[in-house]
Structure 1
């Protein structure tokens, strides 16, 4: 039985349709490029790095080439060097300003205790301390005490003999050979301004007529700062008329031109001469004024110059061993 379909009209007998061509076994699938959405996180591959044709029309600026390794190393090395140097300087400042203060404070306390014991021992011998100008002077050893009420009621230091580094580490030091407290001439004392106790840190804050009190075993001596250069002209009718300034006035004669505060070079050692600034002038003791000169470095943290304060003796009060609590009224002139 013939199962072939009958030929269509117009087709010859025995005609068969041509079989359809076979489909290829390999083909490129269609890739849908979709933007990743919250529900469809598809990975979109980046183009091959070697295939740069697709960025031919990119107008972006190219990134500058990275610096050379040598330059980077040099910059880093200098940076580390500067940081290290800064740390060294900072540690030095801490040592110079704070640590040396602690060390000097201990030495100052020891010198004060030793002086107090000495004065107490002398008080118990005979009728008390001998009156006169006797001083037990030994370099680095205390022999007097210094008070500046204007710098506070707690301002006091023991003055030691000598001005070497070791002496000044203890406290204010007396220039060997200069006058002693209360004597005619110039009682000259040096002190550090920064570090090592810094007894003269605020020396520039002392004003004319401010009291500088020196205590010895037998007496209290009150010196007062001389007028400053800009106060000399109108002194008598100006500040000089204040009760506190009694006994203070511009000096004349060989002392003409001497003022309470000045700045000099370190080489100008004649500022502590018996007649300041006139080292070659020799006057009889009866013609000499009784002065006190304080010296320190200026400006702070520098030794390029010296700050000088000149004061004149205005009062002397003998100590009463029976009433050691009695002190000069000037000690109460605190700010």
Structure 2
């Protein structure tokens, strides 16, 4: 640090100093010349000003005094640590800073947890997909089919009111028909399923037709005719007209309406009821509504052409003989006039599956002609529960 400047006042108060002896100039080779010491006169010394890091104010004739500025002293910076030294000094447990940039190796337990989590997510997704499918099949398709069935019923009612019945061409019922595919021509009621159960039956059994309601197997008999009046319907979704078909019991009524008549069919005895149908007083065959219902045999005892026609059966989808004129016996040579008027209802089995078919057979027991003077008159069988 340079010696502190002596203020002018101090210089004025000091005694005169004799001139210093001349010093020869310094030689480049030998350096500065050495002066011969001479004793200096004793003088009173003023105390020197304390050293400071503050620059003094400088005043001059052409300058104004300036503010004192602090001297900026840079403190030495600590040397930055080398990354290599950090890595070498870190522990191997991964908790220190040296492992912060490294990806830990997954353990076997981590992989198992990841696999279980992935499988769980896939199962949840699959469950949601199945749930949405069920909602669509059961509710959405029912709603769509209800609209189509409503349109078909309105169209049929309008034709009946105007006298344009496709089953009455040529003036005689059943002699000539003019059924277009997908056209409604009759209605079916099952009193056991409630007073509101009623569906318009359409001609044909294609997927598109069955979305609108029960469909009549083309080529089978028509309502009230000798032979087998066969009808198919969905069991789940798309209106599900035959959803509860498995709940039908022997002698339950199946009522079919046309423009001119009501036809009452009743379910035939079930397989386990045939042997004891009328054996005891309490047997099912002795009930009043089973009066005209009996196991079908016709003439040949236990071996007639109708001996294999139970009230209900479950078959594979390829068993088309269940809708033959003589069910389960398509080769039977029974003349048309001698064929028993039957009804056969078919649907999928079990629910939500098309693996098998549930079949219900019934026979015609009564026919009610519609009285044109009393259009609102209904058969009493519709009141059965």
Normalised TM-score (structure 1): 0.76
User: Displacement of 1:326 after TM fit?
Assistant: 1.0
User: Displacement of 1:77 after TM fit?
Assistant: 2.4
* Secondary structure at the counterpart of residue 193 of structure 1: coil
* Secondary structure at the counterpart of residue 146 of structure 1: strand
User: Displacement of 1:138 after TM fit?
Assistant: 1.4
Alignment of 1:1-335 (within 5 A): 67=108, 69-122=110-163, 130-133=171-174, 134-236=176-278, 237=280, 238-252=283-297, 253-334=304-385
The answer (yes or no) to whether the contact 1:141–1:161 under 8 Å persists in 2 is yes
State how many pairs are aligned.
269
Q: Which residue of 2 aligns with 1:20?
A: none
Runs (4 or more) in structure 1 with deviation over 6 Å come to none
Separation of aligned partners in 2, 1:211 and 1:197: 21
The CA RMSD measured in Å over matched residues stands at 2.2
Q: Which runs of 5 or more structure 1 residues have no equivalent in the other structure?
A: 1-48, 51-64
- Report 1 or 2 for greater relative contact order, CA contacts < 8 Å, sequence distance ≥ 6: 1
Q: Which runs of 5 or more structure 2 residues have no equivalent in the other structure?
A: 1-89, 92-105, 298-303
User: Displacement of 1:79 after TM fit?
Assistant: 2.1
Separation of aligned partners in 2, 1:257 and 1:71: 59
Tell me which structure has the larger Cα radius of gyration: 2
Separation of aligned partners in 2, 1:207 and 1:301: 22
* Secondary structure at the counterpart of residue 274 of structure 1: coil
Separation of aligned partners in 2, 1:194 and 1:278: 30
Separation of aligned partners in 2, 1:225 and 1:217: 24
